[in-house]
């Protein structure tokens, strides 16, 4: 075996050890914190009536699953999040690319979008409720709005950061017009676009939860808010934990999509 082969084998082995250690730390840290929380509640170091121990939270979660409450709330929040995020992401990517490529359009609309982005999108909810009523439309539009602005700004920035030298090199190899966009500009901007998509999914979850606090009688946000009003902390913690898990799953879907769509970034990260 050559020295190069041995070095490559050692590098792969080291990379596997690093990934294994990262996995162990990622799993062990929350387990240790949960154990400490349980111990502190059991020994009355903290008030278990307010800081419900993990064992009681798990018991409550199983009860809510059994009676269908938790499953229904997860489905409703996921539907609102998915619909609003899909609409906002689609328009955000499209508009961001258009603004990045077309200078007159960028000059006309960028100041307007920058001003609107400064307005908290959740503040639009009362107006949307007046216009559309108490149905699903205001909630979906609010999620779509926050997703749109985050994705649009990141997409515009990603397109604008593409190196002119890279575009010139593409032209030198015959990539012009649509081919330049498809094979040079879009792949170069794609990592920045996915950064916006990852940020937007977390903010979208925050917004959909906030809308459910004040304008819904179902969903995880409603579960948390109603539990607080009735002083049922165990139910409230179940809602909070479920929201966190939903955020992890949604972000994981975006990350997995990025890895499938941009395999070269995964290889570079290694």
pLDDT digits (tens, 9 = 90+) for 60-77: 999 999 999 999 999 999
pLDDT, position 168: 67
Residue 120's pLDDT is: 81
Does 1.10.3720.10 match the CATH number of domain 53-269?
A: yes
Kindly report the average pLDDT of the chain as a whole number: 86
179/51 Cα distance (integer angstroms): 58
A 10 A CB-CB count for 92 gives 26
pLDDT at 252: 93
Strand extents, DSSP E, the chain: none
Q: How far apart (Å, rounded) are the C-alpha atoms in residues 127 and 79?
A: 22
With CA atoms as reference, report the closest residue to 148 among 204, 77, 99: 204
Q: What is the mean pLDDT of residues 26-48?
A: 87
Binning pLDDT at 50, 70 and 90, where does residue 34 land?
confident
**pLDDT at residue 24, rounded to an integer:** 83
What does the pLDDT average to over 77-103? 94
The structure's pTM equals 0.85
* Residue 133 buriedness (CB in 10 A; 0-12 / 13-18 / 19+): exposed
Determine the average pLDDT of the residues in 72-98.
95
């Amino acid at each position: 075996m050559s020295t190069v082969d041995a070095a490559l084998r050692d590098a792969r082995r080291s990379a596997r050890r690093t990934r294994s250690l990262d996995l162990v730390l990622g799993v062990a840290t929350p387990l240790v914190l949960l154990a400490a929380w349980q111990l502190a509640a059991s020994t009355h170091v903290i008030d278990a009536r307010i800081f419900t121990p993990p064992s009681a939270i798990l018991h409550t979660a199983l009860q809510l699953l059994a009676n269908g409450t938790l499953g229904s709330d997860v489905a409703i929040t996921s539907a609102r999040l998915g619909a609003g995020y899909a609409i906002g992401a689609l328009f955000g990517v499209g508009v961001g690319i258009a603004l990045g490529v077309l200078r007159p359009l960028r000059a006309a609309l960028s100041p307007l979008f920058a001003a609107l982005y400064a307005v908290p999108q959740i503040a639009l909810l009362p107006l949307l409720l007046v216009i559309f009523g108490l149905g699903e439309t205001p909630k979906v539009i609010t999620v779509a709005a926050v997703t749109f602005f985050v994705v649009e700004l990141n997409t515009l920035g990603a397109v604008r950061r593409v190196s002119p030298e890279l575009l010139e090199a593409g032209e030198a190899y015959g990539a012009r017009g649509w081919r330049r966009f498809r094979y040079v500009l879009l792949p170069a901007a794609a990592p920045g676009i996915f950064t916006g998509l990852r940020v937007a999914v977390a903010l979208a979850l925050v917004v959909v939860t906030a809308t459910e606090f004040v304008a819904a009688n179902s969903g995880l946000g409603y579960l948390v808010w109603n539990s607080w009003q009735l002083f049922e902390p165990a139910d409230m913690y179940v809602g909070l934990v479920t929201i966190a898990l939903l955020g992890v799953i949604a972000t994981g879907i975006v990350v997995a999509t990025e890895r499938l769509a941009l395999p070269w970034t995964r290889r570079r990260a290694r």
